[in-house]
Chain A
Amino acid sequence: MSVATLLLLADGRFPAGGHAHSGGVEAAVRAGRVQDAASLEEFCRSRLHTAGLTSAALASAAAAGHDPLALDEAADARTPSPALRRTARRLGRQLMRAARATWPDPELDALAAARPKGAHQPVVLGLVARSAGLGPLEAAHAAAYESVGGAATAAVRLLGLDPLDATAVLARLAAETDEVARQAEAASSKAVEDLPAASAPLLEITAEQHATWSVRLFAS
C-alpha cells in the first residue's frame, strides 16, 4: 500500500468535481444550523457518522472486491433523495474520468461501461482505490475523510469562516474519522445487504430543498 497514493486520492485538489458541492452545508447554513466553527463541527460529526459511514462502507466493500453493480444498487436503496442520487452519480462519473486517466484498469472500464451516467461516487471511489493498489481500509479512510473535508471547505466559502478554524474542526474530528473508517472496513467483508445504512434525515430533506433554489453557490 502506497501512502502517497492514498494522499493523492484523498486530496481535495484531486480533479473529480468535489469543489462544486457543499455536502449539504449550503442548505444547513441557510437554515441556520451551521453558523460558526462549533456548529460546523456538530454538522460534520453527524455527517461523518451517518452518510460518511455509509459511504465509507460502500467504498471499502468495493475496494474489497464486492460486485460494484450490487453496491451501486445498495447505494440507491440507501439514498432516498433523488437529488442526492443524481449528485452521487454525477460525482461518480467525474471521479471515474479522473481515475481512468490516473490509474487505468479494466475494472474501471467495465463499471464505466455498465453505468455510463455514473455509478454512485463511494462505489467508484472504492473501485478506484482498488485500481490504485489500495486496500479496503484505505478506501474507507478516503471516503470518511471526504465526507467531512468538502463540507468544511464549503463552510469557509459560504460563511467567510476563518479557514484555520475550519481546518481545526477537521483536526478535532480526525480520531472519529479514523474510527468510522475502521468500522466501515470491518463491515466490508459482510454481504452487501448487511453493510451499514446509516442515514442522515436532514441531509435527505434539505437536499431536495436545495435542488429547488434558483440562486445558490454549490451544486449540492
Chain B
Amino acid sequence: MHLDHTDTIHPERHSASAARPDGSRRALRVGLGGPVGSGKTATVAALCRTLRDRLSLAVVTNDIYTREDAAFLLREAVLPPERITAVETGACPHTAIRDDISANLEAVEDLEEDIGPLDVVLVESGGDNLTATFSKGLVDVQIFVIDVAGGDDIPRKGGPGVTTADLLVVNKTDLAPYVGSDLAGMARDAQEQRGELPVLFQSLRGEPGVGPVADWVREQLSAWTATAVLPA
C-alpha cells in the first residue's frame, strides 16, 4: 500500500503548479523582500492603490511580530480586509518564505479559494536580512526592495536578494541628498552584480511614484498569462 502506487493521480498542488484544483490558472505570485525599513509595505500599499482598479489583488504578509504589516495595510484600506492575510512566522520570515513555505502556500491558496479568481497575489516578507529570498515553490517572481538610506554600498555588497531578484527596487531616492548616497554609484554597482536583471529607482513621495514598478508587475502578469502552461 505504499510507494508501489505512484501511478495514482494527485490533484492537489504541492507547491507552485500553475493550475488551481478546478483546472483554472492561478494568480501570479509576486514576492517582495528586503531589509527592515526599506519600504516593502509602503511599496505593497502603493502597488495595491495603483493596480486594484484593473486587477483582482490579494496580499499575504509575513511578519516578525504578528500582523504588524497586515494591520498597516488594513488601516490604510488599500484592499478590502478579506484580501489581506497575515502568516505567522515564529520570528523567522525567511524560513516561512524559503525553507518551509507551507503556511504561505496555504495562505495564497485560501485567498484564491475564498475570494475567487485573482490576477496577482503579493507576498511580502517581513524585513529580515540581505540573504532572504523567496522559494520558487512559493512565488513566480520576486522583487527585492532596498533604500538609499540603508547605505549606498548595499548593491556593491551583493547577496542573493540583490543579485538574483527578478527586480531590484532602490527606494526613497528623495532622501539621497540628505544621507549622502550616490545614486549613480548604486546603479553601477547593481548592474555589475545583476547583469541584465532590471533595477528601478523609486520615490513614493513624488512622481512617478510606484508607476514603473507597477508597470513591471503588469508585464510579468502578461508573460504569466501568456506562458504559464496548464496541465491538460
Contact = CB atoms under 8 A, between A and B. Distances in A.
Do A and B touch each other in the complex, judged by CB within 8 A?
A: yes
Interface of A: 13, 15-22, 90, 93-95, 97-98, 100-101, 103-107, 109, 112, 130-133, 154, 157-158, 213-219
Contacts, number: 97
18 contacts: A13-B100, A16-B100, A17-B100, A17-B103, A19-B90, A90-B106, A95-B102, A97-B102, A97-B106, A101-B15, A105-B1, A105-B3, A105-B5, A216-B65, A217-B66, A218-B91, A219-B88, A219-B90
Interface of B: 1-3, 5-6, 8, 10, 12, 14-15, 64-68, 87-92, 95-96, 99-103, 105-106
A98 B100 CA distance: 9
Nearest to A108: B10
Nearest to B62: A20
B17 to A, nearest CB: 11
Nearest to B135: A15
Contact of A218 (B12, B90, B95, B102): B90
Given A104-B5, A215-B65, A94 B103 contact: yes
A217 B10 contact: no
Contact of A214 (B2, B66, B101): B66
B230 to A, nearest CB: 19
A216 B3 CA distance: 40
Given A107-B1, A214-B67, A154 B99 contact: no
A215 B96 CA distance: 18
Given A17-B102, A103-B3, A97 B14 contact: yes
Contact of A217 (B6, B8, B64, B101): B64
List 10 A-B pairs, minimum CB-CB distance, nearest first. Answer: A101-B14, A219-B88, A94-B102, A20-B90, A15-B100, A217-B91, A17-B102, A218-B90, A19-B90, A157-B91
Given A15-B102, A90-B106, A104 B91 contact: no
A19 B105 contact: no
Given A107-B1, A217-B90, A218-B91, A20 B12 contact: no
Contacts of B88: 20, 216, 218-219
Nearest to B100: A15
B106 A94 contact: yes
Contacts of B66: 213-217
Contacts of A131: 2
Nearest to B2: A133
Contact of B10 (A17, A100, A133): A100
A18 B103 CA distance: 9
Contacts of B100: 13, 15-19
A111 to B, nearest CB: 12
A13 B99 contact: yes
A97 B105 contact: yes
Given A15-B99, A15-B100, A90-B106, A100 B91 contact: no
